[in-house]
């Protein structure tokens, strides 16, 4: 681990929801939830105002609606999110050639490699400069963590949220980690966390006190060695420059083999949803669905199915993974399950609705990933679809966005990122004066060069 806090972790604050608030003046300071709006939809991002009511990422949308019934529920605009992400990543690459994106809104940067920082003072200055540049270019805020390793930099950015900067001084790492819950460490998920808790280990400090041999006995050789090293604040992983993503996958290893076939099916569906969330965070869709099953005897089976076109629809991925599971004998028990997607492509507007339009060869259309409108059917049969939150233009009233549609009508709020809250009007979904529109920049052209600013800063213990 290096001697200076020159690894930076940036995490944009409630990214999708913050973009929507910046784009729509009427939603600023209000609860906003972005995600799939159908009965099987999940929350992609919730604004901080929505989080007050308990809404969280990956939560079923039905549960979110019960918790925050008055929030604005919007369909994602991935093209806009990706374009803003590219602006932010450009600012990171101006600091260093070593930038490791983790998703559209999150990345590591090696400040030392670019000569942007060599000690705590210069690292703090670089972090503050970055945050001000992001605010100037996009109008959004990001939280920055600075530390001597990737693990600690990510922990620092979590401590900095929202809209802050935290620097962990070298030499203070173990004291900082000791009281934190074991789930703070990378690779400690619910199953491992529960296993450690049953052994009386609930904090990072208790992991360090348990000793390496005890951890190996509890969680296995590879995982035990890694956990012990991280509990001692040892993390030598380098920042790796961006590489093309070949696949996106998730998997879980279970402390006790699963014998119940119904439970296996439930786990596969849950993993499929997690995999789709990672796809969307990375701004990707994919054609090939892969199922991985490790059985009780450690034999590992993989099955795959290639769709006609790329998808990011959780229902489609769940269904494909379920069909693959039907071909696997799980008699005797399952110790590991995984779901992945390969054959990746960048999002396109067509991708979002291809499955809803029945694009899968020989199959009926699935429930759309992003159905229109917050609660009602999207338009009359044969009518145009106006996804909630997406941009449109009216020949007389100008630029606006769809607040929702149903029963053959669409409600539009006419406003831009640079106006005040706009007026609301309702039209037939087939009104010839309505047409889809491209999103407007969050910052007016020419305004992103000057100004600046930053949020609160703090120094970690």
Tell me which H or E stretch contains 28.
none
Three-class secondary structure of residue 219 per DSSP: helix
Q: How far apart are CA 47 and CA 396, in angstroms?
A: 32
CA dihedral over 425, 427, 433, 439, signed as positive or negative:
positive
Q: Do 84 and 94 contact (CB within 8 A), yes or no?
A: no
Count CB-CB contacts under 10 A for residue 23: 23
Q: How many CA atoms does the CB half-sphere of 66 hold within 13 Å?
A: 6
Give the tokens for residue 44.
């992609």
Three-class secondary structure of residue 154 per DSSP: helix
Q: Do 344 and 306 contact (CB within 8 A), yes or no?
A: no
**376 given a catalytic annotation:** no
Q: Phi and psi for 318 in degrees, rounded to 5? A: -60, -45
* Catalytic pick among 106, 112, 173, 415: 106
Task: Compute and round to an integer the Cα radius of gyration of the chain.
Answer: 23
Three-class secondary structure of residue 200 per DSSP: coil
Q: How far apart are CA 200 and CA 282, in angstroms?
A: 37
Three-class secondary structure of residue 81 per DSSP: helix
Rounded to the nearest angstrom, the gap between the alpha carbon of residue 74 and the centroid of all alpha carbons in its chain is 16
β-bridge mates for residue 345, sequence order = 285
Q: How many residues does the chain have?
A: 461
Rounded to the nearest angstrom, the gap between the alpha carbon of residue 35 and the centroid of all alpha carbons in its chain is 11
State the helix-helix crossing angle for 78-95 and 15-23, rounded to 10 degrees: 110
- For 151-161, b/e burial (b = at least 16 CB within 10 A) is bbbbbbbebbb
- Residue positions annotated with a catalytic role: 106
């Amino acid at each position: 681990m290096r001697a200076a806090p020159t690894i930076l972790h940036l995490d944009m604050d409630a990214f999708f929801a913050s973009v929507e608030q910046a784009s729509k003046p009427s939603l600023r300071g209000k609860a906003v939830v972005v995600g799939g709006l159908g009965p099987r939809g999940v929350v992609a991002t919730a604004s901080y105002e929505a989080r007050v009511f308990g809404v969280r990422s990956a939560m079923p949308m039905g549960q979110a609606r019960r918790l925050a019934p008055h929030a604005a529920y919007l369909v994602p605009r991935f093209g806009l999110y990706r374009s803003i992400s590219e602006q932010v990543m450009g600012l990171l690459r101006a600091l260093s050639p070593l930038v490791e994106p983790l998703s559209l809104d999150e990345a590591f940067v090696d400040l030392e490699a670019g000569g942007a920082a060599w000690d705590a003072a210069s690292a703090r200055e670089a972090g503050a400069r970055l945050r001000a540049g992001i605010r100037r270019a996009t109008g959004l805020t990001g939280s920055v963590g600075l530390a001597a390793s990737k693990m600690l930099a990510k922990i620092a950015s979590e401590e900095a949220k929202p809209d802050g900067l935290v620097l962990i001084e070298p030499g203070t790492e173990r004291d900082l980690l000791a009281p934190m819950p074991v789930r703070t460490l990378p690779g400690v998920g619910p199953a491992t966390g529960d296993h450690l808790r049953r052994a009386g280990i609930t904090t990072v400090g208790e992991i360090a006190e348990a000793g390496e041999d005890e951890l190996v006995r509890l969680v296995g050789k590879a995982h035990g060695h890694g956990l012990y090293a991280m509990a001692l604040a040892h993390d030598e992983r380098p920042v790796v420059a961006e590489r093309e993503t070949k696949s996106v996958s998730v998997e879980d290893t279970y402390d006790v083999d699963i014998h119940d076939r119904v439970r296996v099916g439930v786990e596969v569906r849950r993993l499929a949803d997690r995999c789709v969330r990672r796809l969307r965070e990375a701004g990707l869709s994919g054609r090939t669905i892969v199922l991985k099953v490790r059985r009780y005897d450690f034999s590992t089976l993989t099955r795959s199915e290639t769709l006609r076109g790329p998808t990011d629809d959780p229902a489609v991925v769940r269904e494909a993974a379920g069909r693959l599971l039907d071909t696997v004998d799980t008699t005797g028990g399952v110790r590991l399950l995984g779901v992945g997607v390969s054959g990746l492509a960048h999002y396109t507007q067509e991708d979002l609705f291809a499955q809803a339009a029945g694009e899968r060869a020989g199959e009926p259309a699935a429930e759309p990933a992003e159905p229109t409108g917050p609660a009602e059917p999207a338009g009359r049969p044969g009518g145009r679809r106006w996804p909630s939150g997406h941009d449109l233009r009216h020949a007389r009233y100008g630029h606006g966005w769809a607040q929702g549609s149903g029963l053959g009508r669409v409600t539009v709020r006419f406003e831009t990122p640079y106006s005040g809250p706009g007026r609301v009007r309702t039209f037939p979904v087939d009104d010839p004066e309505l047409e889809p529109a491209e999103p407007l920049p969050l910052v007016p052209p020419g305004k992103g060069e000057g100004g600046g600013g930053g949020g609160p800063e703090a120094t970690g213990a």
